[in-house]
Chains A and B, each alone.
Chain A
Amino acid sequence: MKMLTDQEIALARASMDFALENGAQKVRVTLNKSLMELFGILNGQLDKVTHALDRSLQLSLFVDGRFGSFSSNRLDREGLERFILGAIDTVRNLEPDPARDLPAPERTVRDASTGRELDLYDPAYETLTSEKRREMALGTSVWQRKAVLEQGFRLLSEEGEYSDSLFDSVVMDSNGLFARHTETSFEIGYEVTVEDPSGNRYASYWWDATPKLEQILPSLGTCCEQAIRRAAAQIGPQDHPGGKCDIVVDSECASKFLTPVLNALGGYAVQQKNSFLLDKVGQQVFSEHLTVLDRPRSTGETGARLFDSEGVATQEFPIIEKGVPTRYFVNTYIAGKTGMAPTIEDATRPRVMPYGGCKTRDDVLRKVGKGILITGFNGGNSNSSTGDFSYGIEGFAFADGRITHPVREMLVTGNFLDLWSRLIAVADDARLCMSKLIPTLAFEKIDCNG
């Protein structure tokens, strides 16, 4: 059976009841089941077939003012009961923590009883056979016609994977919560390596993922070629003098700049004084052109969720409004520790809103005129306490709104507070396959070093 069965859900409920009968005062149980089929291609040939079925039962136990988290994938009733008794003993050995609690029932989700509410489950998944998957996977390769594509380079290797999966999850707690989330996913990804006439190698990738089978079909035929185009575009890199440059960050990699900001709004980072946005909520710390909305309830879109891991209902709200962070993400535990009002535990599907009249990356390049286009990052780090960052970058120089040549061995350095105050354009081209909807971005006068 691919979905969670009534028996499996009943076992989860029985585990909660057993824990309550044997010393736990409060319990949360999460039951996950996932099924994944993968067909890998290497240079035009089927290279790998994987079949994966996973189940796990996670228990959050609140015992005598103490808290512990436990999990097992051995879902036989007797074994689980022994495991739960041992878990309760373990929790009793920990020190008390009055901040630990289940979320208040009025905060938990009420509209996620079937798992299908967000329309992320595609019944077409059930119609796929092993033969059909194999056929689709083999059809994504370009190896047999690579001679046509090899314009000024040689395709050394082509490695792709088609996969699809079904994920079904139930969260319940002793306050009466019952929530379910079910989704299917269809994915294609390719990594390629090309070689120029001088023997220099360039690698790149491309991928796509959708919750519906019919949505992935167009990408099956284009994914590998897109990876090859991206690899070949890097041929002939030149040194760049660097200095203060205007930069454009492609939507494929723009999350590198927003994710640290979202992390810095995490309640745990703030409580541990490890956030560069400590005491910055309500202040104008970024450009007034930056607005980030959380859109967790976008029906049919990858990454949408009606509830978080505690079962707290998601809602649409501005995370950053005209450059002002509106709130920290505070789960029940951090709320108990800090006295802050609890929220959803994390950004679910943040969307950076367009600014500057640009729809596409090309629009942004034309608007900015001259600078560095960043299409990937290679190494580097950021300091969560200070917001300082330094990343290796891959990309291109552009002038008069057009790409001129690839650049090599370059770094972009700065501080996130300063970077986001230099925002000059946000396109409207975020990739729907990503959980964070971040379009192509442009910033002015950023340190780029060769």
Chain B
Amino acid sequence: MSEQVYEPKIIGFLCNWCSYAGADLAGVSRLEYPPSLKIIRVPCSGRVSPELVIRAFREGADGVMVLGCHIGDCHYATGNHRTARRMPVLRALLEFTGVEPERFLVKWVSSSEGELFAQTVQEFTERLREMPPLETYLTADV
């Protein structure tokens, strides 16, 4: 029997204009990245409410990433400024509730950064592989 590799489940909220296009570019440029990520397209990273991230963890995601445009590049002028302010607060809350903050990634990836996108997914997946699945905590008898 071959060795089992734990494949984490990642939900990624990608802004339509920068990061989603960046992911598209990664595909077009035939860059490889782990299939552990499932992308939810949102118009702007500012659309992502903290509740959505928490819900993703609750539904069984091992990691959640929110990718948006670089600050100053937001398609909607200042939508990602909100993300930049909101997400650190959420991170602190996650930590408080016992979800390691390493499971939550916020990063700026532009539409021209396909390589950065692939690399980000790769690194995030590897980071999560080091940790146990989140579900083991959630389903453990308390």
Interaction A to B: no
